[in-house]
Structure 1
Amino acid sequence: MNPSGAVCDQKVAAVEVTKDRNGIDQIVLRNPRGASARVSLFGGQVLSWRTDQGEELLFTSSKAIFKPPNPVRGGIPICFPQFGNRGALEQHGFARKKLWAIDYNPPPLHPNDSSGKAYVDLILRPSEEDLKIWPHSFEFRLRVSLSADGNLTLLSRIRNINSKPFSFSIAYHTYFAISDISEVRVEGLETLDYLDNLCQKERFTEQGDTLTFESEVDRVYLSSSDVVAVFDHERKRTFMIRKEGLPDVVVWNPWEKKSKSMVDFGDEEYKQMLCVDGAAIEKSITLKPGEEWTGRLELSIVPSS
């Protein structure tokens, strides 16, 4: 344990705490080869994930607002306790707008979740204000880790410390940086049913072997396999998305018209980003008192032709 409360094996990895322009702590994880990830305590949001050559793998808008209470447009915002817009809760929940804390006493994890990795443990507990709009006591523990080979993992554990059950949905709203949306395809979604948010959540079945992009897409694919791939033809690389406890996959690109309506998003930036999220949305997760849910998202890149 180093003074920051972030944990690392000093022989193979490094963890550093810095402050952003608003004085909010950010944790920088580095592996021995020079790959890095940067996590903000505001929202528990991963803001950067770079290769050992320094290439940024996550998209952040040039017009992103880096000032609370606005979540940053890009990186990996955590949407909890809901994804979408329902009831009194704001769209995509409140976790992405809250100040998380470094968790100095995380419960023990499987050895694979720490060995040889640079990692930090964060925790979010509800404030009095949160309990007024969502009256459920919880502990949300998040471990963000960067492996020796540069893979980025987000491991979440959400515990019910209420006296009654509660239900939630969750998504890791991952903005991948891509060469050009017209050069990208997604595999691993074939034959799946999906809810189309552009058609009042009507249910359809994916007909294509791969998903390509020619217009706005806003879908929730249901009960997907645990591996989804995003092929970037121009950059000759593939993002591999491996997930556990996250049955659904959100695919989103706002395209031209919607891009122009978003104040924190450039008019043409839809060409350089694609959101593909590990999520649990269609069937809410219900926790009884004392129960804990675990979800795991691992992102890696591999060369492709």
Structure 2
Amino acid sequence: MSRDEQVGKVTLTTPSGRSSVEVLQYGATVISWKYDGAEQLFLSRQSPLDGSAAIRGGIPIIFPVFGSPSEYEDHAGLEKLPKHGFARTAEWKVIEGRVDKEVTASCVLELNSVDYKEIRDAYQWPVHLEYHIRLSDSPASLECSLKVKHLAGSSTMPARFHVLLHNYIAVGDATQAGVSGLKGVTYVDKNASKARVAESSDPILLHGQASDRVYQGGAPDVALLYNDGSGRQLVVSRSETLQDTTLWNPAEAAAKGLKDLHEGGWREYICIEPGSVAALNELPAGQEWVGTQQLRIVEGKSKV
């Protein structure tokens, strides 16, 4: 592990040099994951990396609210929070880094909400967050695990929160790539009537159409099929605590309104986002909640 104190960045590299990951302390945001020299994550060329705004790309951590609090009728205790919460725009501390065996490298970052007045003012529950990142060559994978501990405080009410790991997965052409594994899972389309619909397609092909679907429950493995002739897949697995899946791409029209997305950038990614967002988690004081995802590269000859 190497650290750039001036930039606030951690770089992990496996002993073989085949895998590397870059993590900013700002938001504990993974901004790069490379395997055999190939970038697996999308990062907008227009996104500032100086802590002035949330990062458009990589793997932002959404906590403790998904979207804006006003979107939810039941948003007690979340009303003062900014869109997507505070985790992705707070400064985290690196508390551990190590190489394990011969094929893995890992680090741990932490965020204590009581250390920041702006967080205390917006979120009434004191929480301690730990983010574990583990990089492996065998299998070629990146594992991210978020631990939430509700610290003892003046409030006796359970801490209320959503969690979402907002994976921007790089693709050659989002209009051609497919997503497999969600057939039969019920979703809410935030771009449409918000009615609940059971997914009937496998794979799902966006063909340049916008997607802002929240698939609720099931915690299935989901595979991104690149459909570039290589047969590669990127499989997203998760713990049962991250039972929901958001599938997002703004498509061309909506992308024009995203000032931090470079021109044509919407074609270069599909977001597959494990989370717990269909309902708010409620965590009693003194207890912990853990959500884990693994992104795994699979070589093969599958076709969309």
TM-score, length of structure 2 as denominator length: 0.88
Question: Aligned pair in 2 of structure 1 residues 80, 200: CA closer, same or farther (>3 Å)?
Answer: farther
Contact kept? 2:219, 2:242, Cα under 8 Å = no
Give CA-to-partner distance per residue, 1:186-219, whole Å, 9 cap, x none: 1111011111110253321111122111200001
1:222 to 211, 216, 234: 216
Matches within 5 A, 1:123-162: 123-126=110-113, 127-149=116-138, 150-162=140-152
Contact kept? 1:231, 1:304, Cα under 8 Å = no
1:290 to 281, 286, 290: 286
Are positions 1:168 and 2:161 aligned together?
yes
Q: Partners of 1:185 and 1:128 in 2: how far apart?
A: 43
Question: Aligned pair in 2 of structure 1 residues 125, 221: CA closer, same or farther (>3 Å)?
Answer: same
Aligned to 1:129, what secondary structure does the other structure show? helix
Aligned to 2:175, what secondary structure does the other structure show? helix
Q: Which amino acid aligns with 1:227?
A: D
What's the counterpart of residue 87 of structure 2? 95
Are positions 1:197 and 2:196 aligned together?
no
Q: Partners of 1:301 and 1:120 in 2: how far apart?
A: 21
Unaligned runs of 5+ in 1: 1-14, 106-112
Contact kept? 1:79, 1:170, Cα under 8 Å = yes
Q: Partners of 2:262 and 2:218 in 1: how far apart?
A: 31
Q: Which runs of 4+ in 1 moved over 3 A?
A: 113-116
Q: CA deviation at 1:24?
A: 3.2
What's the counterpart of residue 180 of structure 1? 173
Percentage of pairs with the same residue: 28
Q: Partners of 1:248 and 1:304 in 2: how far apart?
A: 27
Matches within 5 A, 1:28-43: 28-34=11-17, 35-43=19-27
Matches within 5 A, 1:51-90: 51=35, 53-86=36-69, 87-90=79-82
Aligned to 1:169, what secondary structure does the other structure show? strand
Contact kept? 1:59, 1:75, Cα under 8 Å = yes
Give CA-to-partner distance per residue, 1:228-280, whole Å, 9 cap, x none: 11110104310011100200001000100111111100231111111001110
Contact kept? 2:179, 2:202, Cα under 8 Å = no
Q: Partners of 1:102 and 1:83 in 2: how far apart?
A: 25
Matches within 5 A, 1:13-32: 15-19=1-5, 23-32=6-15
2:226 to 228, 232, 235: 232
Question: Aligned pair in 2 of structure 1 residues 178, 268: CA closer, same or farther (>3 Å)?
Answer: same
Q: Partners of 1:133 and 1:85 in 2: how far apart?
A: 13
Q: Partners of 2:101 and 2:273 in 1: how far apart?
A: 26
Contact kept? 2:182, 2:220, Cα under 8 Å = no
Q: Partners of 1:148 and 1:181 in 2: how far apart?
A: 26
Q: Partners of 1:121 and 1:197 in 2: how far apart?
A: 34
Q: Partners of 1:114 and 1:251 in 2: how far apart?
A: 33
Unaligned runs of 5+ in 2: 70-78
What's the counterpart of residue 76 of structure 2? none
Q: Partners of 1:102 and 1:269 in 2: how far apart?
A: 31
What is the total number of aligned residue pairs between the two structures? 280
Q: Partners of 2:297 and 2:133 in 1: how far apart?
A: 17
**Pairwise CA RMSD of aligned residues?**
1.7
